[in-house]
Structure 1
Amino acid sequence: MEEIMQLHTKDYGVIDYEEKDLFHFPDGLFGFSEVQHYLPLCLNEEEDSTILLLQGVENPEVAFVVINPFSLDPDYAPNLTEEELTYLGVKDAEELSYYVTCVLQADYLDNTVNLKCPLVINPENHKGMQVILEASGYEYKHTLGSFESVQAKQKAAV
């Protein structure tokens, strides 16, 4: 039986978790190398992992909203190097989960996502890394309003 640990967060109070729940980024995320463990929290009632809050464990002040990029752009095609695949312990990039960081604005259609530097996670062992897709044509800032899937959802809600 794993030990139940507690994380004290600013927005969600005290959260109980086990070591197996964490995502582990041995090199940290860009600009946050001191935080290597993140607790993924679902941001909607359906326990859908399309949008998550990655809550830093070593520093609970650090948290990132991340989105599955395929929910925004079904044609998103990140190419990983052999070294990156080996580091994550897989042979094929399709074995991995992908998330992109989101910068929140007052109007959600102005929120931006970074498609150039996705977080890539092995769902089997929860080991992850942030990569830079050098020759991809993806940018650091894509507004949510620029994706057809978001625009279609907005029209359906009206």
Structure 2
Amino acid sequence: MTTETLTAPIAVPSQALGAIEVARDSVIAVCEPLAGFPDCSSYTLVEHTRRDGSGGGVFWFQAVERPFHAFVVTDPWTVFPDYSPEIAESDAADLELASFEDARVFAILTVPRTPGGITVNLRAPIVVNMARRVAKQVVLLNDEYHTRHLMSGPIAPR
């Protein structure tokens, strides 16, 4: 593929974001499908922009294949500075991680229809090897984290 082909935009009819375009070289392949979405193998990260134009540390992990769903994700250390995830060596191998510093970790947020009550899944984050453009949702070895930690703090998609 040529450089022009790699950066050519892909049209994605996102259920959450409407019609968007993403660069081909921003696509991230998942090692195994995320739970409940067996036919999706490719995603991209789209920064959530607030009405005032700021980012706020929230992203959409947007599927680039049908059904074009998106997960709201954030860097878990933004909300839980003491977060200390331990992943299995087999997960690190699947992600082709030489060291944890090569990874970027995202926690999935659950945003209820009513304000407040946003929870974050610290037990099963999405780990991305940004250099290799490969990701996997992993279940952590340490058991002090849960799938629905109540989130309090400045990050909230608006």
Scaled by the length of structure 2, the TM-score of the pair is 0.83
**DSSP 3-state at the match of 2:108:** strand
Whole-Å separation in 1 of the counterparts to 2:9 and 2:146: 40
Q: Higher mean Cα deviation, 14-23 or 65-74?
A: 14-23
Match of 2:70 in 1: 63
Whole-Å separation in 2 of the counterparts to 1:135 and 1:81: 10
Pick from 87, 112, 120 the counterpart of residue 113 of structure 1: 120
Give runs of aligned pairs for residues 7-156 of structure 1, distance below 5 A. 7-44=12-49, 45-47=53-55, 50-145=57-152, 150=153, 153=154
Whole-Å separation in 1 of the counterparts to 2:28 and 2:116: 28
**DSSP 3-state at the match of 2:71:** strand
1:11–1:141 CA distance, 2 compared to 1 (3 A):
closer
Percent identity between the two aligned chains: 23
Whole-Å separation in 2 of the counterparts to 1:84 and 1:92: 12
The alignment's C-alpha RMSD in Å is 1.9
- In the alignment, is the contact (CA less than 8 A) between 2:16 and 2:70 conserved in 1? no
CA apart distance, 1:136: 2.8
For structure 1, the residue ranges without an aligned partner over 5 or more in a row are none
CA apart distance, 1:12: 3.0
**DSSP 3-state at the match of 2:123:** coil
Q: Counterpart amino acid of 2:136?
A: M
Whole-Å separation in 2 of the counterparts to 1:94 and 1:4: 29
Scaled by the length of structure 1, the TM-score of the pair is 0.83
**What are the Cα deviations for residues 19-77 of structure 1, in whole angstroms up to 9, with x where unaligned?**
211121131112212111112111123456x2101121112441110111010111101
Whole-Å separation in 2 of the counterparts to 1:4 and 1:106: 32
- In the alignment, is the contact (CA less than 8 A) between 1:23 and 1:38 conserved in 2? yes
CA apart distance, 1:144: 0.9
For structure 2, the residue ranges without an aligned partner over 5 or more in a row are none
